[in-house]
Structure 1
Amino acid sequence: MAFRYSFGGDTFLYVEVSEDGMSLEAFFLAMAICNKLRAMQVEGITEICPANASYMIAFNPDILPYQKALEILKSLEKEVVGAQTEIQTRLIEMPVFYNDPYTHECQMRFRNNHQCREPGSTLDPNMSDIEYARQINGYESVEAFIQAHSESPWFVSMIGFVAGLPWLYQLVDRKAQIEVPKYPVARIDTPKLTIGHGGCFGCVYAVRGGGGYQMMGITPAPVWDPEQRLPYFKESMVFLNPGDIIKFTPCTQEQYDHYVQEVEAGTFDLPIHSVPFSLKEWQANPKAYNQKILEVLK
């Protein structure tokens, strides 16, 4: 796997772990290097930021010359290749109201931004995001698409874009990945806690705001809370971490409304389990391994 090193001005060093895009192998390598860097506590490194298939460090060149910083990272590259493939992580079950009226209303406000109304499009000009995703991924029905979206778990590959927003990569064979292009023209509004999808990545919009991912549904579960009101925010105002695994569970309007009331009352909580994850075992048989780690939810 080829690493690519790029300097950003005098104080940043960006490293692409894979030039072939996102893969779990690339993610594990980036995570392993970032973990080793944190443990080393290198004088002069002021920030370490892991991403999907890359990472970046900020450093003080008066303390750590750029050439020395580069040498340290290249030495870690040699150490971690083929190394860390097992982690102890969290499995989190999260309810999702798919095909909901809240994101649907937002979709209709921004239909002119969507593929279905591009010049020359033969698509239904009022089709929903989830119907569009279903169609281009070859599923027979929206229900079949929702099943595919929710039955296999998702890996949190990075946090970013806005505070607390998790980037998600589904734990399925690459050929089975759901892929959906983003809106050609981004929206200026997205409901808080929308479940989005763009390219091969899912996300949970932590706050209301602009966005371009197709909207699949909405969750009642906050993922960012600066007041840390809910039980699962005890350790941090940002709930999710790279390496966490999320299992989406479809819920009804009635269930969603009940969960929202619990959130407002400060009593809402999520099932969280500590589980081991082995990249090698997962690669050997993704479907069987997913079933194995999801056993704790039964």
Structure 2
Amino acid sequence: MKTRYSFGGDEHIFVEMDEEMSLDAFFKSLSMTEAVRAADIAGVTEVCPANASFQVKFDPDRIAPDALLAELKALEHAAEAGEKRIRTRIIEVPVFYRDPWTHETLMRFRERHQDPSGTDLDYAARINGYATVDDFITAHHASPWFVSMVGFVAGLPFLYQLVAREKQLQVPKYLRPRTDTPKQTVGYGGSFSCIYSVRGAGGYQMFGITPMPIYDPTQTVSYLRDFMVFFRPGDIVKWKPIGREEYDAITADVAAGRYEPRIREVTFDLDAFKADMDGTNARLMEALYGV
């Protein structure tokens, strides 16, 4: 991997670890952002991490752009040898696949889709070589996912599948974005899954919806009272398929302040994962469910 630095106007430096997403690129980016924060460089006002990159905002009246660039490059060597083990959370996220709300929406926008004759799941299953939609849904929820960044809109997580690269699902975005996407839609674009934190425009394929709010600016949802955004980079997600009855029950529990997501603390070791992906995922499931 060769790191690339570029200026963004007078107040930003963009640091790209690699042109494609990988867990190696993510961990190097994570190490560098932590090193930048720890260095407490005069004039740096914000560090914003992404999938395989990060951006630094700075005050050019306090530090010259070239001086900051030199500081960042000096930190890169330390980041290459940085920690590849993190203490994080694994979280169960219920998903109502093939729900009526995303189905109604995707049917309204078929003319913007690669295959207007079917649904988003029909298309995703076919291009990934699955015989049925049920087989594709199983592939989507069977293995855990890694939250590589949070953003684009407030609270929206991008999730990267914890399987070998040749097994990763890939589905392109719509040919033209929709002007509507239901809140809490579970979407897919490229090699990333996501959860739409708010209702709005979008171009990702729509697979289902979760009854679990992940963003609450009012901070009235019981588990979002301390902070309005639920996810953070490094979280691990296990999708749990549910039906309409369980969806309605969770929705009612959220409204009544009774719902608490299933969360367990875990350690994720990148080298151990690369050495034994199936074994690592099995241990994550054991930590989440105790079996």
TM-score surpassing 0.5?
Answer: yes
Question: Secondary structure, in 3 states, of the residue corresponding to 2:115?
Answer: helix
- CA deviations on 1:189-218 (whole Å, 9 max, x unpaired) are 000000000000110000000000000100
Structure 1 consecutive aligned stretches of length 4 or more whose deviation exceeds 6 Å? none
Q: Distance in 2 between matches of 1:262 and 1:167?
A: 26
1:164 aligned counterpart, secondary structure: coil
Matched residue, 2:179: 188
The letter for the 2-side match of 1:5 is Y
Letter in 2 for 1:240: F
Determine if contact 1:97/1:251 at 8 Å carries over to the other structure: yes
- The correspondence for 2:249, drawn from 238, 252, 258, is 258
Normalised by the length of structure 1, the TM-score is: 0.95
Does 2:210 match 1:219?
yes
Q: Which residue of 2 aligns with 1:93?
A: 92
Write the distance in 2 (CA, Å) between the matches of 1:191 and 1:295: 33
Aligned residues: 289
Q: Equivalent residue for 1:73?
A: 72
Match of 2:48? 49
2:269 matched to 1:278? yes
Gaps of 5+ in 1: 118-124
Percent of matched pairs sharing the same residue: 50
Aligned counterparts of 2:288 and 2:33: Cα–Cα separation in 1: 30
> What RMSD, in angstroms, separates the aligned Cα atoms of the two structures?
1.0
Partner in structure 2 of residue 61 of structure 1: 60
Residue 154 (structure 1) aligns with: 145
Map residues 230-269 of structure 1 onto 2, 5 A cutoff.
230-269=221-260
Code of the residue aligned with 1:155 in structure 2: it is F
The yes-or-no answer on 1:23 pairing with 2:14 is: no
**Counterpart-to-counterpart distance in 1, 2:16 and 2:129:** 32
Q: Are the aligned partners of 1:230 and 1:267 in contact in 2 as well (CA < 8 Å)?
A: no
| Structure 1 CA distance for aligned equivalents of residues 160 and 190 of structure 2 | 10
Q: Quote the offset at 1:267 in angstroms.
A: 1.8
What letter matches 2:102 in structure 1? T
TM-score, with length taken from structure 2 = 0.97
Matched residue type, 1:175: E
Q: Equivalents in 2 of 1:98, 1:18: separation in Å?
A: 33
1:121 corresponding residue in structure 2 = none
* Aligned mates of 2:273, 2:225 — CA distance in 1: 31
8 Å CA contact 1:92–1:273 kept in 2: the answer is yes
**Number of the residue aligned with 1:167:** 158
Contact 1:230 1:269 (8 Å CA) reproduced: no
Cα deviation for residue 247 of structure 1 reads: 0.5
TM-superposed deviation, 1:163: 0.8
Deviations 1:69-124 (A, max 9, x none): 1111111111111321000001101100011111000010001111014xxxxxxx
